[in-house]
Amino acid sequence: MSAAQFNAISKVVRGHKTNVTITSVWNDIHEDTSLGARFGKRLVFTTNEIDGLRQYAIFLTGLDPLFQDLSGNRVEVAAKTGNEKFGNELVFGRMVVMATLGQSSIPLKSGDVARAPASILMSTHLDRLDLDRIQDQKVLVVENGTTIQHCDELELPEPWINALVVYRGHRQNARHAKTIVRNQPSENLAFMGDFDPAGIDIATRDGRGVLLIPDLEVVAALNQKALNGINQRDVFNQQHVSFRRLKARSTEPSWVAMLNYMEQKQIAITEEHTASKFLPLVVGPVIPPLHNKNAVNE
């Protein structure tokens, strides 16, 4: 989090502002947190989302944006934070954010392990993780920061109820999560993202592991009103480039069946809806390896 991001959140929290213009600063905050709904060139917040912004800033900086700010020159900022370069790097840029489900744990090179209730997020530097011991566990990579905060509410299939959940990250720390992905055996690796063309496109870019997707039989059994409450057909229709790219990747039957259903019903279900509506997840198609992927240019 940069000083500009912290101070932007501070203005919203202090002023109880329910909407802001989407600047580059707010776009980055939104990508990191998924807080706020986009309406044209503005982000609109609920009361709970405003509090979520406050907690997000506290989590990353240790400072409360309701009472503190990061304005001023480097000397003034250093007096507040102990880091005069606060605005130039992410505080958690070298960290991996994780949560432990069931019997999973975070093995450390020191020989210790870390475990906490899934509602408690943990983070550490990549170089402190014992990647070899992580290989023995199921690892579930989630795309959105809000999802990992609620990962204990996910209706996971049996093999994955004891998964170590890893937040894919954003910008700097995304590289470290990718290191875990590349080191993990494919059979112990799964991805969950938005169940729409763009979300699946992102989740499959490493060419390894499997997808965890909403149970399509449950989705198909929803009445139209219930389906409309979780599905965003307009989002699906905006992602035709990603969909074409997915269709070119594999002819494997389960992959084709998933995409055909998505196309027929124009399905776009966010991670947040999957979690909040307690949609059961199932093990979906194996992610096609990279050498089978045919690029489709935008």
What would the pLDDT profile of 74-99 be if each residue is shown by its tens digit? 445 555 555 444 544 455 566 899 99
What residues does each domain of the chain span?
3-88, 95-292
Q: What are the tens digits of pLDDT across the range 144-194? A: 888 888 899 899 999 899 999 999 877 667 888 899 999 999 999 999 999
187's CB contacts (< 8 A; 6+ apart) are none
Residue 284: its pLDDT value, please? 95
> What CATH fold (topology level) applies to the domain 95-292?
Dna Topoisomerase Vi A Subunit; Chain: A, domain 2 (3.40.1360)
Query: String of b and e for 118-152 (b: at least 16 CB within 10 Å)?
Result: beebebbeeeebeeeebeebbbbbbbbbbbbbbbb
Sheet of strand 42-44: strand arrangement: 19-21, 42-44, 37-39
Q: What is the spatial distance between Cα 58 and Cα 236, in angstroms, rounded to a whole number? A: 35
**For the purposes of burial, counting CB atoms within 10 Å of the CB of 114, is it exposed (0-12), middle (13-18) or buried (19 or more)?**
middle
* 218 in Cβ contact with 279 (< 8 Å): yes
Residue 43's H or E segment, with its range, is strand 42-44
Range in 53-57, 245-249, 292-296 the model is least confident about: 292-296
Q: What are phi and psi of 282, to 5 degrees?
A: -130, 160
Q: What is the spatial distance between Cα 12 and Cα 39, in angstroms, rounded to a whole number? A: 17
Residue 74: its pLDDT value, please? 45
DSSP state of 186: G
Residue 32: its pLDDT value, please? 83
Query: String of b and e for 275-285 (b: at least 16 CB within 10 Å)?
Result: beeebebbbbb
pTM greater than 0.75: no
Q: What are the tens digits of pLDDT across the range 4-47? A: 888 899 999 999 899 999 999 999 899 888 899 888 889 999 99
Residue 295: its pLDDT value, please? 41
